Structure 1
């Protein structure tokens, strides 16, 4: 395939951003061929911005059946991500999906199965996997430089959102409109990075979520979660949209030291000998392993969204490996679903997740949501 004809589903904030760089020729081997949106005004705007040659459609099916696209970039509402992707898979059309993969893992699992059966290229827009800081963290963990993981701790509270932000759309911060709050809207990237860098999901989760604590919303705006991993390690994840100034600090401790990512820097507090080895050989009353503070040099070059889109197009054209394979979208979503389920049931949640129980409780909240999609 010489050029991949891309169609964008949903020409809102993120869809517009993607359309601009694709139409601007910033993705080698690709062109913006079509956009789809339920808003006639947005479609007219797209024609004005990107040229009269652009194909516009009011329905996903019409776009997929038109023969004008080889691949689609999904930017519509969270609940519609899996169903939109599965329609494309059925027609042999490649898919790049914005985060999150969906709202509940039961639906996303069906999407993954459909993708595997189709044989097309399926990727997630996990653009933060391209950030050099997190790539280096993953490299240090995967290489064994940090030793076996013992603890993870992520404080990610710099997602400040005012009431006016939530008031900007009736669907925002509702169970029926978005399917969740800070965990599903702002934090999918961090939840993905959390599991991607350490290379494992927890074995169980205990979470405390506050729903509408600081804002007039029905979903969560503050979360503190504690997790336990299969190897005995523990972790904490803290987030909110109502804290100013916020913090973004990730700390990962292993047998050979700890790594801290904060303020755009990666610091490796490296032990000269591992903690288990020191403990076995040290005979004094007080002491600890010799530790070196290493400011690890990390590139600042990250093309973020463009890098993921280029990688997806390259995979379609030449078969290169995907940075963020679509089927991995279920992993971070498993974490948020488990946190919700723990808060709703006031107890521990074991993984694998009870997907049917989560779906049942989510549907109860959707049924009483202040937003209903048919209005």
Structure 2
């Protein structure tokens, strides 16, 4: 089968990593044939490291129209993801974008519509979907082992970032440069997994965000959000970049027990009877269902991560197999992020589906007064 010729736009940390494993031939059926970056030093690195067989462009449009690629991996700053993806689709190219899908859902919705019209393969780099622990949770929920979901609680505060990290680039942690903070930069994977594993999106969110807490930055770096679902379930999502040591604990409670994931372990407290059945039949006053504590066996490691998503995308291009991380699904986690910010900005509930125009206008107000470098 003919190899998929891949181009990469953006040779920052992520783009460089993707370029290295592709250049080494570690993705079967794919070859790296072109890269684009406006910085001369990154083009020089590409010449020295990737070899003469990889074409180099300063301008992404030149790469997209070069005829040297079949698909493109977009690894640029957040705001440019939808714009470049739309250009790629219009040049009949398959697309794999780095997270997040974009900064606001109105922009991402336009990208999704263009992807649908194109009929091309569109993926997003949600590499945590390859992690056996989250895949197992999704499987167990879909098989009904937890029964109806009643409560979600994710504390994800091990994203510690010092002031020196934020000072390392004028675009960092600014509305103009990144379009947000921990919700758009560090926690998009958890926001995706929150809805992907459970198959549920909330109906409304109330969030409290601290902007520049203990740091000289513009954007949110500590968030506590409360969500409500149509079936009566509730959720709490807490994230931060300014506390240490941090925690990563995801707890899912259902009618038939609870699952806790922390420290690479997955523990299931399985009720002998569902809470609904026990409550309907128990007459002893004080009491609760008996349960068993089960350590869920998992495949070793954290999955193939970034390389695994790229392999999956290439296979979909070649064979038409379903994607593990379809690009169109990037709007779901982003909608959760946008809703949290909108709730904090308006000091009110944010209903889902989101008021995209209101969010966009409030974001533009912050961009206009931002001290960050436009990305």
TM-score, structure 2 normalization:
0.99
1:257 match: 257
2:229 match: 229
1:241 match: 241
SS of the equivalent of 2:184 reads helix
Cα shift at 1:54: 1.2
Q: Tell me, yes or no, if structure 1 residue 362 matches structure 2 residue 363.
A: yes
For residues 38-73 of structure 1, give each alpha carbon's deviation from its aligned partner in whole angstroms, at most 9, with x where no partner exists: 111111111101002210111111001111111000
For residues 175-231 of structure 1, give each alpha carbon's deviation from its aligned partner in whole angstroms, at most 9, with x where no partner exists: 000000000000000000000011011000000000001111000110000000111
Q: How does 1:1-375 map to 2 (within 5 A)?
A: 2-301=2-301, 302-373=303-374
Consecutive unaligned residues in structure 2, runs of 5 or more: none
In the alignment, is the contact (CA less than 8 A) between 1:121 and 1:316 conserved in 2?
yes
For residues 273-310 of structure 1, give each alpha carbon's deviation from its aligned partner in whole angstroms, at most 9, with x where no partner exists: 10000001100021100110000101124111111000
In the alignment, is the contact (CA less than 8 A) between 1:82 and 1:111 conserved in 2?
yes
- Paired residues in the alignment total 374
SS of the equivalent of 1:206 reads strand
Structure 1 runs of 4+ aligned residues shifted over 4 Å read none
Consecutive unaligned residues in structure 1, runs of 5 or more: none
Q: Distance in 2 between matches of 1:120 and 1:53?
A: 26
In the alignment, is the contact (CA less than 8 A) between 2:213 and 2:242 conserved in 1?
no
SS of the equivalent of 2:269 reads strand
- Point out the more displaced range, 113-122 or 52-61: 52-61
In the alignment, is the contact (CA less than 8 A) between 1:214 and 1:221 conserved in 2?
no
For residues 311-352 of structure 1, give each alpha carbon's deviation from its aligned partner in whole angstroms, at most 9, with x where no partner exists: 000000111110000000000000000000000000101111
* RMSD over aligned Cα atoms: 0.8
TM-score, structure 1 normalization:
0.99
Q: Distance in 2 between matches of 1:267 and 1:371?
A: 43
In the alignment, is the contact (CA less than 8 A) between 1:270 and 1:294 conserved in 2?
yes
Q: Distance in 1 between matches of 2:276 and 2:40?
A: 64
Q: Distance in 1 between matches of 2:10 and 2:253?
A: 41
